[in-house]
Structure 1
Amino acid sequence: MNDRAASVFENYEIEILRILKGRGALLGETQEGWLILKEYTGPATRLEIQEKLLEAVKENGFSRVEQLKRNKEGELISYDQDRVPYIVKTYFEGRECNLKDVRECQSAARTLGRLHKAMCQPGIARDYDVPAFCMENEYVKHNRELKKVRRYLREKSQKTEFEIYLLHHYDFFYEMALSAAEELQEYTADFDEEKIREKGNFCHGDFQYHNLLFTQGNFSVINFEKYMLDNPVRDLYLFLRKLLEKNSWSVSLGLNIFTAYETERSLTDEDRMQLYYRFAYPEKFWKIVNFYYNNGKAWIPGRNREKLENLLKQEAEKKNFMNNVLK
C-alpha cells in the first residue's frame, strides 16, 4: 500500500501515532489501540450487516472480536484519491495461531465454540433477509465445474506433464465428488436453507490460523468479510482440515479438537453428518482444478503437481480419520 492509502486515515476522527505495513493492509497505532486499513471489494449492504453482526457478537459476550469504524461522514467505506474503497477496523496486537502446538489448537477450538454461540443471531438474519448457504447446492455447482474441466482436458490435443498427471487421477476424485453429493441428497430436508435461516447461525467463513491472533493469553478473531449463514461446523471443518493435513490426519488430534470445541458448544447428530460429508467431498481436489483452469495455462506452477501428489498420499489417512471419528 502507498501514501495515498495512508491518507484514507484522515477521513476518520482519530489521531494516528504511527503507521506500519501489514499483510495487504496498513496498521495505524492510536492512543486507544491499533486500527487496520484494508481495501474492500464487496457490496456496501453486506458491510452494513457485518457491522451489526460484530456488534451483536460483542454484546453477546464475545469481546475479542474486531469492530468496523465509521468515518467522519458516518460511512463504513472510505475512498482514496483514485476512488479505491477501503474499510477501517479495530485490530489486536498478537501472533497467529501455532498449528504445531496441540494445546493452542485446543484453545482455538474452544474459542470457536464460544464464537459460534455468540454468532447465533436469528434477529439479524431475519431483519436483513440474509441468504442462507446450502452445502448441497455448493457441491452440485462444484461438480458441474469438475465435469467441464474434465471434458476440456480430454479434448485438449497437446497436454503438459501436469495435465496428463491430473487427467490420470481425475476420475478417482470426480467419482468421489459425485458420490458425496448424491448421498447428501438423502439429508436435504435437514440442511434446508429456510431451516438454516430460522436458526440464525452465522459462520466466520474463513476460520483458519491466519485469522486467529494470540495475545494476552487469549485468542482474538479477525477478518469476518466472508461471514455467512450456514451450519457452524463449516468453520470447524475448515480449521480441522488445515490442521489435520499438516498432521497426517491424526485420529487422536482430531478427537482432542472435537472435545475442546464441545466444551463450549455440543455437536448434534446433524452437525456430525454435515462434518462427515464436508470431509467426504474432495474439496482440495476441486480447488487444485479450479486454480488450474481459471489461471493462465501457459505456465503451470510445479506446486500444483506437488499438492495433487500430497492429496493422493493422504487419502488413506483421511479415510481412516473419517471412519474412526465421524462415521
Structure 2
Amino acid sequence: MNDRSISLLENYDIEVLRTWRGRGAILCETKQGTLIWKEYTGHKEKAAFQDALLTTIRERGFENVESILKNKEKELLTQDQDGTFYILKTYHEGRECNVKDMDECARAAQMLARFHKVSCMEDSFPGGSMSHPAHVEFEKHNKELRRVRKYLKERSQKTDFEICLLKNYDYFFNLALQITEELRFYQSKGENRFVCHGDYQHHNIIICGNEMYLINFEKCVYDSPVKDLYLFMRKLLEKSGWVQSVGFDLVNAYEKVRHIEKEEYLQLYYRLAYPEKFWKIVNFYYNSGKAWIPGKNLEKLCKVTEQEKNKREFLDKFKLQYGLCPAEI
C-alpha cells in the first residue's frame, strides 16, 4: 500500500495519533480506537452490500464484527488521485484462532452457526451476488483438470513433480468427475436466502481475551451456510490429516447452535468429497509457469495422496453418522 494514502484519512472525522503497518494494511491509533486502513479492490456496490450485512447482523445481536467507517461525504470508500479506493474499518487487536486448539475451533464453529442464524435475509440487499451452485464451480475445475492432463501427457520431458502428478492424476480426476455428476443430481434447487461470510477460516477469526471476533467480509455472498462450514472444516481436516474426531467435533459444535438439515449434510458430504486440494495444486502448477516448480509443491502433492485413505474413511463414517443412505450417495 502507498504510504501517501495516509493523507486521505483527513477525509474522516477522526484524529490520527500514529500509524504503522500490519495485517497487509495500515493500522491507525486514533481517539476513537485502533482502525485499519486498506486498499479496496472490489466493486462499490459490494462495499454497500457488506455494510448493510454488518449493520443488520449487529442489530440482530451478532455484535463481534468489524464496522466500516464513512468519510465526511458519507461514503464508504475514499478514492485517491490515481483512482484507487480505500476503506477504513474498526480493528480488533488480538491473535488468530489457533487451529491446534480444538476447543477454540469448536467455539469458532459455534460462532459460525450464530452468524448463520442472523444472516438469513428475507429481502435482498443491493449489491449482493449469488454464488454459482457448487457443481457448476466443480465443472469449471474439471475443465481445467482435463486441459492440464492433456498438457502433461504431451510433455516429453517431465520433472519429478510432473511424474508424480501424472501417476495420481486419473484417480483424482475420475473422482472429481464422479462427485460433480452426483452433486449435480442432488444440488438444491431452492433459492439461498443466507449470506455467507465467504472466507471463514482461522485468519479471519480473532481472539481478544475471552471474546471472538469475525472480520474481513469482503467475500460475503448469498449461498448455502454449508459453504462456510465446509471451508472451515476442510482446512482443519487437512491440517490434521483427516482425523475423524476433528470433523465430527466441528459439526457437533455447529449443530448445538443451528440445526443442520438432511439436505445440508448431503451438500457438505459432496463438497468435502471433491478433491479440492488436488485441483489447487494442479491450478497453481499450470498457472504459475512450469520452468521451475518449487519442491514444496511435490511435498503438498505427496501429502494429498497420503491423506486420501484417511479422507475416504472419514467420508464413509460421515455417511453412516448422518444417515446418508446409498440411494442418496
- Counterpart for residue 135 of structure 1: 134
1:196 maps to what in 2?
A: 191
The residue identity in structure 2 corresponding to 1:179 is Q
Contact 1:8/1:78 (<8 A) preserved? yes
Superposed, 1:173-188 pairs within 5 Å as: 173-188=172-187
Deviation at 1:68, TM superposition (A): 1.4
Q: Does residue 34 in structure 1 map to residue 34 in structure 2?
A: yes
**Contact 1:4-1:80 within 8 A present in 2 as well:** no
**Which residue in 2 is equivalent to 1:269?**
262
Equivalent-residue separation in structure 2 for 1:116 and 1:183 (angstroms): 26
CA contact (8 A) 1:133 1:229 kept: no
Q: Which residue of 2 aligns with 1:152?
A: 151
Which one-letter code corresponds to 1:282 in the other structure? P
Shift of 1:130: 3.4
Q: How far did residue 153 of structure 1 move?
A: 1.4
Q: State the one-letter code of the partner of 1:242.
A: K
Once the two structures are TM-superposed, the CA of residue 253 in structure 1 deviates from its matched residue by 2.3
SS at match of 1:17: strand
The answer as to whether partners of 1:213 and 1:221 remain within 8 angstroms in 2 is yes
1:220 paired with 2:213, answer yes
Deviation readout 1:210-250 (Å, 9 max, x if unpaired): 00001131210001111111110111111111111222212
Residue 170 of structure 2 aligns with an amino acid whose one-letter code is D
Tell me the residue number matched to 1:231: 224
1:210 to 203, 210, 218: 203
Residue by residue over 1:118-177, the C-alpha shift from the partner in whole angstroms, topping out at 9 and shown as x without a partner, is: 11113125x556334311111111111111111111222332221222112111110010
Letter of the 1:155 counterpart: E
Given that residues 53 and 124 in structure 1 are in contact (C-alpha distance below 8 angstroms), is that contact kept between their aligned partners in structure 2?
no
SS of match in other structure, 1:63: coil
Shift of 1:98: 0.5
1:63-111: CA deviations, max 9, x gaps? 0111112222222222334332211111111110001111111111111
- Helix, strand or coil: the match of 2:120? coil
Provide the secondary structure at the position in 1 that maps to 2:19. strand
Q: Is the 8 A contact 2:48 2:127 kept in 1?
A: no
Amino acid at match of 1:267: I
- What is aligned with 1:44? 44
1:2 Cα deviation from its structure 2 partner: 3.9
Q: Which runs of 4+ in 1 moved over 6 A?
A: none
- Mark the runs of 5 or more structure 1 residues left unpaired by the alignment: none
Secondary structure, in 3 states, of the residue corresponding to 2:130?
coil
Which residue of structure 2 aligns with residue 161 of structure 1?
Answer: 160
1:307 aligns with 2:300: yes
Deviations 1:270-308 (A, max 9, x none): 110011000110011111111111112222111111111
Answer yes or no: is 1:171 the counterpart of 2:166. Answer: no
Quick check: 1:196–1:229 contact (8 Å CA) kept in 2? no
User: Whole-Å Cα distance in 2 between the matches of residues 160 and 63 of structure 1?
Assistant: 52
Query: Aligned residues: percent identity?
Result: 51
> How does the TM-score come out when normalised to structure 2?
0.93
Secondary structure at the aligned position of 1:123 is classed as coil
- Structure 2 CA distance for aligned equivalents of residues 222 and 202 of structure 1: 15
The answer to which of 106-115 and 160-169 deviates more is 160-169
SS at match of 2:87: strand
Aligned to 1:88: 88
Alpha-carbon contact 2:236-2:246 (below 8 Å) kept: no
Which whole-Å CA distance do the structure 2 matches of 1:254 and 1:186 have between them? 25
What is the TM-score with the length of structure 1 in the denominator? 0.93
Letter in 1 for 2:191: I
Amino acid aligned to 1:236? L
Which residue number in structure 1 is paired with residue 16 of structure 2?
16
- Secondary structure at the aligned position of 1:116 is classed as helix
Kept after mapping to 1: 8 A contact 2:46/2:127: no
Q: Choose the corresponding residue for 1:241, options 234, 238, 241.
A: 234
- Whichever residue aligns with residue 164 of structure 1, its letter is I
Q: CA separation of 1:261/1:129 partners in 2, compared to 1, >3 Å: closer, same or farther?
A: closer
Contact 1:136 1:181 in 2 (8 A): yes
Q: Which residue of 2 aligns with 1:118?
A: 118
Q: What root-mean-square deviation, in Å, do the aligned CA atoms of Structure 1 and Structure 2 show?
A: 1.6
Residue 183 of structure 2 contacts residue 270 of structure 2 at CA under 8 Å; is this kept in 1? Answer: yes
Q: d(CA) in 1 for partners of 2:128 and 2:35?
A: 30
Give yes or no for contact 1:133–1:228 (8 Å, CA) kept in 2. Answer: no
CA distance in 2, matches of 1:118, 1:32: 27
The number of aligned residues is 320
Q: Equivalents in 2 of 1:129, 1:324: separation in Å?
A: 37
